[in-house]
């Protein structure tokens, strides 16, 4: 089985976010980039298929040379090879088209992508990959088993979970639950050294016209001041809720 894992290069959630050029561009100065968490769950599940079923695992990213350390980390975790599509990831449709081309040309049986990336939270790329290649798709996937060409997946739905059966080739949009956080892997020294010798191919992009663009960014409003009231001062609490907060 050939598995393609899509890897997004995203800012660490602890990074301080700023914008430049009149709030039209993201400022990468001092920002630490990591594997998108939803993608990392998918990569870990792919490693399980590699170890238990002998699958081959390729990771792919759309982006410039600055994303290669993230791909190298995926290789250090255990992926066999990496592909970087040499174009900026600025639009969900154009990214999906590049990834769909890689998936189709490589005849991959299973494509694992994160349900969404934590930077843009578009949640559209996995479904678009499946649609462009006309293959089966399971989103919000929190469980996956494969026997031969048959896949059994569990996905989150409103109010519960749903188990579905389908066939390969398949695209999934994975998330936490596909594996647990305790199952995520930290590259060891041997993995890091081996990653340097694994192939990282730079592929030129196919023609793909962006359908959207970002005009400006805006930070959330700062949190308001907090008024503390002593637990035995109920009269003051009622007064503040009534006259200041106006919720009663």
The CA-to-CA distance between both ends of the chain, in Å, stands at 61
For the question of whether the overall pTM of this predicted structure is more than 0.85, the answer is: yes
99 pLDDT more than 90: yes
pLDDT band at 147 (very low <50, low <70, confident <90, very high): very high
225 pLDDT more than 90: no
Determine, yes or no, domain membership for 228.
no
Determine, yes or no, domain membership for 138.
yes
Q: Reduced to 3 DSSP states, what percent helix, strand and coil does the chain have, rounded to the nearest 5?
A: 30, 30, 40
Segments forming the whole domain that contains residue 35 = 2-217
Which alpha helices (H) appear in the chain, and where do they start and end? 37-53, 68-77, 92-105, 125-133, 189-195, 234-239
33 pLDDT more than 90: yes
Q: For residue 169, is the peptide bond before it cis, meaning its omega torsion is within 30 degrees of 0?
A: yes
Determine, yes or no, domain membership for 240.
no
Contact indicator for 136, 166 with CB cutoff of 8 Å:
yes
Determine, yes or no, domain membership for 233.
no
Q: How far apart are CA 39 and CA 176, in angstroms?
A: 9
Q: How far apart are CA 214 and CA 198, in angstroms?
A: 35
| Number of domains the chain is built from | 1
Handedness of CA 102, 59, 46, 42 (dihedral sign): negative
Nearest to 168 by CA among 147, 199, 141: 147
Determine, yes or no, domain membership for 225.
no
CATH of the domain at 165: 3.40.50.620
User: What mean pLDDT is predicted for residues 19-37?
Assistant: 91
Q: Write down the pLDDT at residue 205.
A: 95
Contact indicator for 45, 179 with CB cutoff of 8 Å:
yes
């Amino acid at each position: 089985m050939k598995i393609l894992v899509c890897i997004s290069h995203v800012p660490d959630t602890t990074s301080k976010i700023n914008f430049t050029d009149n709030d039209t561009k993201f400022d990468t100065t001092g920002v630490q980039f990591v594997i998108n968490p939803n993608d990392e769950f998918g990569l870990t599940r792919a490693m399980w298929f590699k170890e238990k079923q002998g699958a081959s695992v390729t990771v792919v990213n759309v982006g410039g040379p600055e994303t290669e350390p993230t791909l190298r980390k995926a290789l250090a975790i255990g992926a066999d090879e990496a592909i970087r599509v040499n174009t900026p990831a600025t639009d969900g449709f154009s990214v999906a088209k590049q990834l769909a081309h890689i998936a189709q040309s490589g005849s991959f049986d299973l494509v694992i992508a994160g349900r969404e990336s934590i930077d843009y939270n578009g949640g559209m790329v996995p479904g678009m990959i499946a649609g462009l290649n006309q293959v089966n798709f399971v989103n919000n996937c929190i469980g996956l088993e494969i026997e031969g060409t048959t896949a059994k997946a569990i996905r989150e739905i409103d109010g519960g979970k749903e188990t579905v059966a389908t066939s390969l080739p398949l695209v999934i949009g994975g998330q936490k639950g596909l594996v647990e956080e305790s199952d995520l892997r930290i590259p060891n020294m041997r993995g890091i050294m081996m990653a340097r010798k694994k192939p990282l191919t730079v592929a030129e992009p196919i023609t793909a016209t962006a359908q959207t663009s970002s005009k400006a960014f805006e930070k959330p409003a700062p949190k308001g001041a907090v008024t503390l009231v002593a637990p035995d001062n109920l009269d003051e609490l009622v007064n503040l809720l009534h006259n200041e907060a106006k919720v009663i």
